[in-house]
Structure 1
Amino acid sequence: MGRKRVLAVVHTVTYGKRLLDVLALLEADFRLQIFFTAPPHAFGDDVPAFLARLGSVVLPWEQATGMTFDLALAAGPRGVEHVNAPLITLPHGANYLKRVAEGAHSGVAGLRRQDLAPGGRLPAAVGVPHRDELRELARTCPEALPLAHVLGDPVHDRITASLSLRAAYRRALGLGEGQKLVVAVSTWGAHSSFGRFDALLPRLICELPAARYRTALLVHPNVWAGHGAYQVRSWLSRCVHLGMGIVPPEADWRSVLIAADWIIGDHGSVTLYGTLTGAPILLAAAPEHEINPASPAATLAAQAPRLSPTHPLADQLAYVSREYRAEEYAPISSRITSEPGRFNRNTRRLMYGLLGIGQPAHEPVTVPLPDPLPPAGWVRGRGEALA
């Protein structure tokens, strides 16, 4: 039986995780065969292991670019002009948050001409999460505007579909009665909160009593790939020994975020997704020159309290809890997507339309997130193992 061939172009672990949410919409369809490939990328060293864990059919990049496919999916632009297939491009994070200053190539990452039409070749479809992005698209690459589809955001939908399971996620993490969870989040780059972890981590360990608080770190996979897993674990080894939980790059961080009582973050996607959870947010870093001023990250940076180096951390956490108003963050989280709850419906329709075959005759369900595993560092540390 002839099958339609679908290619997933996985540049990095972050891109791969985003594509897995999309590929789930093609499950159980015997008319399709999914292939994966990994183009060269500066942060792609962990991709082969990521794909091996999936048990997927992986084609070498040179072979994949010499073949023809019925559909291709990519969450990053590098090299995709060499793919012979109708291509859907998607953002790999929340909205389009980062501003890039690269001379003639300056602009909003993901919405610049070289991002939308690498090598001068336009894709078959450009998926965007919010209708407001169409204005920037019309300005930077107007020829891509007719190809744009407002699809929504899969992470937004998975998180909102899972909020009612918060208590179950906390039990799965081993949080005891009355224990509070502080999640420190970092994107990548010199101005991310990871660049300030040498000052923040000792405070998380020394200022928060172990009987009341658990701490977990969510560090962008590009940090792990750029510095190497050995180096990151080496930097954080003392923290693990003292009981801090490190969420590895291959783990699903979204249920950990839902379980948080506080989020200490920066200008990255994970911090923005944190506005969906109801947890008060403290910003450890928010470099104005790296933030798209039209994005919800800019609004969050102007509104969320900034971490103070001089006041006790526990006092700051108590303060932001007292001051937190969910209604003040609702306009920020609503900018993540203008199609809340409809990513699966919109994206499946687009994919099957390009494939030229009918969709399965059932509603594409948004599946709640699975229980998280306790991160490394919680099994041992501060002289006490979790139950």
Structure 2
Amino acid sequence: MALYRLLDVLPIFSGDHRITRLFTLVPGSEFGADALSAIDALGGRTVPWSEAGGREYDLVVAASPKGDLSLLRGPQILLPHGAGFNKSIPGEGSADSASGLDPAYLRRSHGHAPIALHALAHPEQVSRLAATDPRAARRAKVVGDPTLERFLASASLRDRYRAALGTGGRELLALVSTWGPESLIRQHPGLPARLAAQLPYDQYQLALLVHPNERSLLGAYDLAERLAPALDAGMLLPDPHEEWASVLIAADALVTDHGSAALYYCAAQDRPVVSVHRAGGELIPGSPMDVLLCGVPQLGRAEDIVDALRAYRPGSGQAAARMAFARRGEAAGLLRTEAYALLGLTPPAHRVAPRLLPSPGPAPRVPAAFDVRVENTAAGVRISRHPAGAGPPGHHLAVEHGAADERFARSAGLLYRRPLPESAAPLDAAWTAGGWTRHALSAYPGCRSAAVLLPYDRCLLRVRGHERTYAVEAEPRSEDGRIVRIDPAVTLSAVHARLLSPHPLGAGPTRMACLVGERAFHVTLRPATDAEEQRVI
């Protein structure tokens, strides 16, 4: 986390040919290997610690007071590596001291190279530093938070981030886990999978943001294997450097432990936050995170997540964030002014601006088999899909042929296919829509309906025992200037259930409603034309 804070700060020197940037890793961290790998991936130049202490530097920038920083000769800027000072790490430094304000580390750095500037984000942080180390507080200034600047500058990219994540019209629920024994991922390891089973796939998307220290301890491969049920159900696991912040901007709601990432979310927007933090020894009473967690709903069971989100009181998150951040919109300029003053240089003439956050990636795993729950109501057919095996069985199993495990295909009540990309083969062979549906019903005797998705939100559907094939077309919705489209596979489940119900349809076109959450999509069902039957897929 300290490295990523430094990477948020270093652009204050961008465009200046006089500046050379070097990285060194202070010994003692069990997360050092991953930090060096991250620097190497960025193309940064590193200096071994054994050599770093033998050189003179014009400026040293650090985001943690831990380690013998006094060996680095040159004026030093010390930054917090999170949103304020909210946690105490048991067994580390002085008992009950906030991480980042521990006098055992702050006073160690006085020696030959005292900290020239404590660059803090809020006056309250200066007061807390003064209570810990009055000498250090005399060199403290409130310059704002450079990471928050990137959040605020990137707010207008929300739609772009959601498009990259494949969120669409769903609600994106982000889970945030800090590191250590009181973190979400340690205290509630099964929560992501339980939420994936609880929340309908067509209404919610999940993302889990894991602190880089925790990812380093487990390793990316082991972490992904532990989370496999939730990831297979479509949950996102963003990169810990910048993508976590892009996902928070894209999110509609947040589930958090006591990690300070939640404060950035609350500072940038006023959307629901719920807590899963249990009482422990790490959270500092009266800190901004403590105020936040005391003011938001507590989540007990995964089954109560929707009620917990609805219980959030608007404004409570932003009130806590105001305790952590001041000088909003000024951090880059203020910090550059202070840094160049210590360098004894005039800053470049060009304006320094926060770097926009990149679009997140890669794309999530997309489930291809769903247990579909059906409820026939006076308003229409209500559809709720959950990835197969994640929750209780539904009315039928809907499976995308060619994308799902064959065992799912052989158990499907509704089997559907999406068009394949155009072939570059010198002699091509391709199914027609009508031909494939006949083939599917023959090859899978347990299947009741087979369908092909066609362009323009249309589908061709064949039901076992019915003489005719059907064309199914879903109409998009207009919502406050936006057009919302439904995945045609969802409407196929609604039509499949309607055609298998004991109430027969008339001979002509039929209009019905497919209900997904609070949305109703109008669907037209009619006999398919010969042209639709012969459509090449």
Find the counterpart in structure 2 of residue 10 from structure 1.
none
- CA gap of 1:143–1:283, structure 2 versus 1, over 3 A, is same
Find the counterpart in structure 1 of residue 76 from structure 2.
87
The range that moved more, 360-369 or 258-267, is 360-369
Find the counterpart in structure 2 of residue 99 from structure 1.
88
The range that moved more, 113-122 or 162-171, is 113-122
Looking at structure 1, the residues matched to 224 and 241 of structure 2 have their Cα atoms a distance apart, in angstroms, of: 14
SS in 2 for 1:45: helix
Unaligned runs of 5+ in 2: 370-386, 388-398, 404-417, 419-486, 488-537
Find the counterpart in structure 1 of residue 174 from structure 2.
183
The range that moved more, 138-147 or 226-235, is 226-235
Using the aligned pairs only, state the percent identity.
Answer: 35
Matched, 1:114 2:86: no
Q: 1:195-237: CA deviations, max 9, x gaps?
A: 1333312221110111111111100011011223332222112
Unaligned runs of 5+ in 1: 1-13
Looking at structure 1, the residues matched to 333 and 298 of structure 2 have their Cα atoms a distance apart, in angstroms, of: 38
Q: Equivalent of 2:56, from 68, 71, 77?
A: 68
2:10 corresponds to which letter in structure 1? Answer: L
- CA gap of 1:123–1:25, structure 2 versus 1, over 3 A, is same
Cα pair 1:89 1:127 within 8 Å, conserved:
yes
Looking at structure 1, the residues matched to 242 and 333 of structure 2 have their Cα atoms a distance apart, in angstroms, of: 26
**Per-residue deviation, 1:286:** 4.6
- The Cα RMSD (Å) is 2.3
Q: Which has the higher strand share?
A: 2
Cα pair 1:192 1:267 within 8 Å, conserved:
yes
Cα pair 2:11 2:355 within 8 Å, conserved:
no
- CA gap of 1:47–1:162, structure 2 versus 1, over 3 A, is same
Looking at structure 2, the residues matched to 104 and 329 of structure 1 have their Cα atoms a distance apart, in angstroms, of: 30
SS in 1 for 2:83: coil
Looking at structure 2, the residues matched to 76 and 33 of structure 1 have their Cα atoms a distance apart, in angstroms, of: 21
**Per-residue deviation, 1:51:** 0.7
Find the counterpart in structure 2 of residue 212 from structure 1.
203
Cα pair 2:63 2:79 within 8 Å, conserved:
yes
- CA gap of 1:251–1:155, structure 2 versus 1, over 3 A, is closer
Looking at structure 1, the residues matched to 356 and 86 of structure 2 have their Cα atoms a distance apart, in angstroms, of: 26
Q: TM-score, normalised by structure 1?
A: 0.89
**Per-residue deviation, 1:25:** 0.7
The range that moved more, 346-355 or 251-260, is 251-260
**Per-residue deviation, 1:265:** 0.6
Q: 1:116-167: CA deviations, max 9, x gaps?
A: 2335433121111111112221121111122111111012121122222222
Cα pair 1:267 1:287 within 8 Å, conserved:
no
SS in 2 for 1:118: coil
Cα pair 2:296 2:316 within 8 Å, conserved:
no
**Per-residue deviation, 1:91:** 0.5
Q: Which has the higher contact order (CA 8 A, sep 6+)?
A: 1
Cα pair 2:176 2:208 within 8 Å, conserved:
yes
Find the counterpart in structure 2 of residue 6 from structure 1.
none
Find the counterpart in structure 1 of residue 15 from structure 2.
28
Find the counterpart in structure 2 of residue 3 from structure 1.
none
**Per-residue deviation, 1:188:** 0.6
SS in 2 for 1:28: coil
Q: Equivalent of 2:245, from 249, 254, 258?
A: 254
Find the counterpart in structure 2 of residue 271 from structure 1.
262
Find the counterpart in structure 1 of residue 163 from structure 2.
171
Cα pair 2:238 2:360 within 8 Å, conserved:
no
Q: How does 1:349-364 map to 2 (within 5 A)?
A: 349-364=337-352
Find the counterpart in structure 2 of residue 19 from structure 1.
6
Higher radius of gyration, 1 or 2: 2
Q: Equivalent of 1:303, from 276, 295, 302?
A: 295
Cα pair 2:288 2:324 within 8 Å, conserved:
yes
Q: 1:336-382: CA deviations, max 9, x gaps?
A: 22211111111101110110010112332233322222454359884
SS in 2 for 1:125: strand
Looking at structure 2, the residues matched to 221 and 378 of structure 1 have their Cα atoms a distance apart, in angstroms, of: 25
1:359 corresponds to which letter in structure 2? Answer: P
The range that moved more, 227-236 or 338-347, is 227-236
Q: Which has the higher helix share?
A: 1
**Per-residue deviation, 1:252:** 2.4
SS in 1 for 2:174: strand
Find the counterpart in structure 1 of residue 183 from structure 2.
192
Matched, 1:240 2:231: yes
The number of aligned residues is 369
Cα pair 2:242 2:358 within 8 Å, conserved:
no
Find the counterpart in structure 1 of residue 502 from structure 2.
none
Q: TM-score, normalised by structure 2?
A: 0.65
Find the counterpart in structure 2 of residue 230 from structure 1.
221
Cα pair 2:59 2:75 within 8 Å, conserved:
yes
**Per-residue deviation, 1:87:** 0.9
